[in-house]
Amino acid sequence: MDITITVADTQHLSYAEEICALMEEAAKQRGTGIAKRAPEYIQAKIEEGKAVIAVDQDNGQLAGFCYIESWDHDNYIANSGLIVHPHYRKMGLGRKIKNKIFELSREKYPEAKIFGITTSMAVMKINSDMGYKPVTFEELTQDKEFWKGCQSCPNYDILTSKERKGCLCTGMLYDPEKEESQSSQDEDSQKAKRWESFKRFLRLHKYNIQRKTKSLFTFNTDCNE
C-alpha cells in the first residue's frame, strides 16, 4: 500500500464532494463533532494551499484529509475536519496527517496559536503529544464566525445553553510562545507528562459536563411540567 500525504493542490479538487461526505458520515457515527462543509468550501481551502490530503497511489482512493482555518486576524489557527477513510484506519494515518497539517500551519502562521475542539480521544492524544494543552473555551478564539461553524453539530444547543463556555467537545491549544520558551526536556518524558495531565483535566471536564447537562435537563423538565 502506497499512501502519499501532501499539501493539496488543484489536482485534488475533484475529491471535494467525497471529503464532505466522509466528514458527514464520521460525525453521524460519533453523534457529535465535525461541522458540515460544502464542497465549494473544501475546494477553496485546497486552492489556497491550506489543506493536506492522503491518497492511496495504488487506486487513487481518498485516504484522509485536514484543512487550516484562521481567525482573529490570523492570531488563531485551527486544524479542522480531520478525517480518515474507514479502509485506512488503525494504521496511524490520522497522526501523520495531523503532523503534516501542523507543520503547514507553523510554516504559514509561525506566531499564531493553534487550537481545536474535539470529542475524539484519538485526536486528543495526538494533540497532546504535539504540545497542545487542554484549555477552557474562553481561551480559544472568540471570533463569532468560528462558533457559527458549530451550528450544524447536534450538540449546538448545549454550547449555546452554556453561553459558549463549554460543550461535549474539549478545547486544546498550542501556544508557540510558551512552547518555545520552555526548557528542553526528554521528548518522550514530556509527552508522557502532558498526556497524564490531560487525562486528569479530561476526567474533571467530563464530570462538569455531566453535572451541568443534568442540571439543564432538570430545569427543562421542570419548565415543561
pLDDT of residue 154: 79
pLDDT of residue 218: 47
pLDDT of residue 106: 96
pLDDT tens-digit readout, 53-79: 999 999 999 999 999 999 999 999 999
pLDDT of residue 136: 92
CB 129 within 8 A of CB 39: no
- What domain range is 87 assigned to? 3-224
Amino acid at residue number 185:
Q
Q: Which of 203, 35, 65, 211 is nearest to 134 (CA)?
A: 203
- Reading the block at residue 20, the C-alpha cell is 464532505
pLDDT of residue 120: 81
pLDDT of residue 100: 97
String of DSSP letters for 131-160: T-EEE-GGGS---HHHHHTTTTSTTHHHHH
Question: What CATH number is given to the structural domain containing 72?
Answer: 3.40.630.30
Pairing outcome for strands 170-174 and 3-7: unpaired
pLDDT of residue 210: 63
pLDDT of residue 13: 98
Residues 6+ apart with CB under 8 A from 77: 68, 69, 70, 71, 105, 109, 112, 113, 114, 115
The series of mean pLDDT values per 10 residues for the chain, 225 residues long, is 96 97 83 75 98 97 97 94 93 95 97 91 88 92 88 83 86 87 58 66 64 51 41
pLDDT of residue 222: 42
CA distance 219 to 3: 51
pLDDT of residue 167: 86
pLDDT of residue 168: 84
- Reading the block at residue 98, the C-alpha cell is 495531523
CA distance 132 to 172: 6
Q: How many domains in the chain?
A: 1
